[in-house]
Structure 1
Amino acid sequence: MLDLLATAAGGFDVETATRAYLDTLQGPARAQSDAYFEGGYWLILWGALASILADWLLLRFRLAAAFRNIGERVSKRRWAVTGITALLYSIVAPILLLPWTIYTEFFREQQYSLMSQNFSTWAGEQLVGLAIELIIAPLLIIAIYALIRRAPKSWWLWATGVIGVFMLVGMVLAPVFVSPLFNTYEEMEQGPLRDRIEAVAAKYDIPAEHIYVFDQSKQHKRISANVSGLGPTIRISLNDNLLERTSEEEILAVMGHEMGHYKLDHVWWIVGIYLAIFGTGLFTISRVAPRLIARHGQKWDVRDITDPASLPVLTILFSAWMLVMTPATNSLVRWAESEADAFGLDAAQEPDGFAKVAMRLSEYRKIEPGLVEEMLFFDHPSGATRVRMAMQWKADNVTDPQVVIPEEGYLDAE
């Protein structure tokens, strides 16, 4: 239960109501939340450097050239040589990065009690993900190198379009063919909660024929929901953690947020802006890569940019580009999330439920960053920003609003 505190004669104070929530996260819990998230700042840098190092090793020891040579012994067709090179690259590069992947995605998650899996289960899912990559990555790389050969000056533009096609096809197919490889999806049970969700969706003409629950508790305890798919595969999904760990008002707040992504066409906006970032990066690569290869290609045994052995050169430059663009990509996603937050508050009309969910996300997201810190490193609004938005909505839209004093320990409730 939550206690209500009537405000003084001056009326409802947004900052007082906000602090009532934020101050519930103190001591070791706040220290752990801050340490986990702040450590992630460095992971962005070190992760990019680890990828660059792996690609440099493939060049330095002429492994990429060896992959190409194997391809040329197998086939004389250029697309086949490219495909074999890409396939071998997609196997060896993850092996070189394996220590980093194990630390960041398994041991570090266990260190902060965010992982539900044992190592063998986690590793099994990694292998499934790798198998999917071994199908998709060679096809994409074959297409890009075909464009490099046929349109040496404008390949970057055509390649951006090809990436867009791959993204859209993936978005259509992923809910049906990929996501079920990792989790079991079942229709949400009929009942009062589903009725309320469907009523909110109907108010905004949002299709809600399919609302799925998936068993993400087997991987971790984070609460989550999403809108996935396009056209006939579009669906709203929420994980079992959200159902089991939160109240009805919190679930409605989350579902209102997810409906906002759909209603505001965020999929198309985000795809479009990401493609602009990718396209600008590919344009830069198209100008820089030939110069690097002309200077160092002989010692790498890379002939020119049309040579599939140049793949690590392209990926080094792309990794560096995406590292530089991290603030831009974070801001893009954060903008969309903030818009969905505003929509969800209007749709669900559960400001305190929304504030409680924002506080629960402090398990793995720093609750009160500085302004510049949030701009650079947060791909979602911080908990403080979200709670403050909810309390402002409450002040503007609720008759006789009350300051809620959350019950001590409510963040620990399962």
Structure 2
Amino acid sequence: MMKKRITWIILGFSIYALFMGLYLFYWADFGVPDAYKGTAADPATFMTERELQLSEEYSRYRSFLSFLAIPFEWIIYLGVLGFGLSRIFKQFSEGISKKKIVVVPLYILLLTAFTWVFTFPLQYWARSLSVKYGINTQSFSGWMKDEMVSFWINVGLTSLVIGVLYALIKRFRKKWWLAAWGLMIPYLAFMMYIQPVVIDPLYNDFTSLSDKALEEQILDMAETADIPANRVFEVNMSEKTNAMNAYVSGIGSNLRIVLWDTTMDKLDDDEVLFIMAHEMGHYVMNHLYGNLIGALGTSLVGLYLAYRLLGGMIRKWGKSWGVSSEADLASLPALFLLFSVMSFIASPVELAISRHAEVQADEYAIEMTEDVDAAVGSFQTLTVNSLNEVNPPFLVKYLKYGHPTMMERLIMLNDYKKNTQAE
């Protein structure tokens, strides 16, 4: 029976990978519609022939890897359960100590390490691609350092969350999902509060913005937007990447306005101001809190569905997995599998909401700066610098894009400029 299941899983994954490869490399069209050729939305007007070729190649490979990673994660969880590894991890942990404060972190460490080892080839392939195409500039040792930081942060936070979750499952057999959701509210708010000042500095050094004149302009914009900030933080990202970014993150006294040095180096000041106005738009329109509310809503639904489905899975396959009940820590891979599948199913809706929020932030930035040319220039430079596809295929857009496509954003700017001139 096990051999048959493995055969079907390998066959299914192979067919899926073949389909995605054919779709991305042969069937999908990355070009722009004829109606927009020659406009600001046409990459041929601001990218060289070589840049166009590299952009299309990189986009196809990157998307292919991203699509492979989704079911591959599910296969790992099924393998951990099907081969009895989850039960072995738990027994080993309990052999070290019977105390839950030791058992849970040790089990999480073993499961996380096993998962990391099997996903490492895909991660390394993705990194190699970004290096090959000139996006990633970080040394291998630096990249591995960040990987290890992420690994241990993941182990620590997951141990805390899972320890509490399984204590709730054991105590509240039928209402654990509701109790867990109640604790999600302070947890997510706390994470938003500490992210900018505790977690982010583990990866990068944050300093005051070196360009004081630019900082003053950004802070003037922040004051206009009623954002309580008295400094702008600069991150030295040029050691790691050629990509550009800026953001406003955190809540309360830990709110931070952050600008990557790559953004400042590659854009003119007016273009940087448009990017910062866009990020401020997210704050002004309460998108940060909207994300929190959205996460709480989806977690409520996800936890309830997990409660309904996990028991059925264990009743059907628990004996072969070596899992006795929902409260058995060895059931965790099944829970992770459920969350991952549900997240994938919900992603088109979540991404559509995110794209709508990004459109709102773009519109806010245009109204604040009144500089359409700077907006166009920033988007075009971002496209060239990151080798982004201007018009991604349907599946890539609706399953991966949390922002409008560059073509959509540039068309919107072009229409805005026409309407302004007509007035």
Shorter chain as denominator, the TM-score bin is: 0.7 to 0.9
Q: Distance in 2 between matches of 1:196 and 1:398?
A: 27
How far off its partner does 1:200 sit? 1.8
Whether 2:84 is the aligned partner of 1:62: answer yes
Q: Of residues 103, 118, 128 in structure 1, which corresponds to 2:125?
A: 103
Within 5 A, what are the aligned runs for 1:342-357?
342-357=363-378
One-letter identity of the residue aligned with 2:333: P
8 Å contact kept, 2:247–2:258: yes
Return the TM-score normalized by structure 1. 0.86
Q: Of residues 192, 199, 209 in structure 1, which corresponds to 2:213?
A: 192
Partner of 1:6: none
**Identity rate of aligned residues, in percent?**
26
One-letter identity of the residue aligned with 1:314: L
Partner of 2:403: 380
Within 5 A, what are the aligned runs for 1:213-252?
213-252=234-273
8 Å contact kept, 1:34–1:367: no
Whether 2:300 is the aligned partner of 1:293: answer no
Partner of 2:93: 71
SS in 2 for 1:201: helix
How far off its partner does 1:389 sit? 2.0
How far off its partner does 1:372 sit? 7.0
- Residues 303-327 of structure 1 show CA distances to partners (whole Å, capped at 9, x for unaligned) of 1111000011111121111222221
8 Å contact kept, 2:134–2:242: no
Q: Distance in 2 between matches of 1:395 and 1:161?
A: 50
How far off its partner does 1:182 sit? 1.4
One-letter identity of the residue aligned with 2:381: R
Task: Summarize the Cα distance change of 1:16–1:217 in structure 2 as closer, same or farther, 3 Å threshold.
Answer: same
Q: Distance in 1 between matches of 2:152 and 2:100?
A: 24
How far off its partner does 1:218 sit? 0.9
Q: Distance in 1 between matches of 2:186 and 2:117?
A: 28
Q: Distance in 1 between matches of 2:391 and 2:253?
A: 40
Q: Distance in 2 between matches of 1:31 and 1:163?
A: 45
8 Å contact kept, 2:235–2:259: yes
Partner of 1:11: none
8 Å contact kept, 1:270–1:332: no
Whether 2:229 is the aligned partner of 1:203: answer no
Which structure 1 residue ranges, 5 or more long, are not aligned?
Answer: 1-13, 401-414
SS in 1 for 2:380: helix
Partner of 1:395: 418
8 Å contact kept, 1:223–1:239: yes
Q: Which moved more, 1:239-248 or 1:292-301?
A: 292-301
Whether 2:311 is the aligned partner of 1:329: answer no
Task: Summarize the Cα distance change of 1:297–1:33 in structure 2 as closer, same or farther, 3 Å threshold.
Answer: same
Q: Which moved more, 1:216-225 or 1:80-89?
A: 80-89
8 Å contact kept, 2:105–2:156: no
Q: Distance in 2 between matches of 1:148 and 1:184?
A: 40
8 Å contact kept, 2:139–2:240: no
Q: Distance in 1 between matches of 2:108 and 2:407?
A: 44
SS in 1 for 2:258: strand
Q: Distance in 1 between matches of 2:91 and 2:261?
A: 49
Q: Distance in 2 between matches of 1:34 and 1:304?
A: 49
Q: Distance in 2 between matches of 1:59 and 1:20?
A: 49
Q: CA RMSD in A?
A: 2.4
Within 5 A, what are the aligned runs for 1:365-376?
365-369=388-392, 374-376=397-399
Q: Distance in 2 between matches of 1:65 and 1:224?
A: 43
Q: Of residues 178, 187, 199 in structure 2, which corresponds to 1:157?
A: 178
8 Å contact kept, 1:22–1:359: no
- Residues 73-104 of structure 1 show CA distances to partners (whole Å, capped at 9, x for unaligned) of 34444565334322322232212222222222
How far off its partner does 1:369 sit? 3.5
Q: Distance in 2 between matches of 1:211 and 1:360?
A: 22
Q: Distance in 2 between matches of 1:100 and 1:21?
A: 29
Partner of 1:406: none
Bigger RCO (CA 8 Å, 6+ sep): 1
Partner of 1:27: 49
One-letter identity of the residue aligned with 2:181: T
8 Å contact kept, 2:51–2:387: no
Whether 2:108 is the aligned partner of 1:86: answer yes
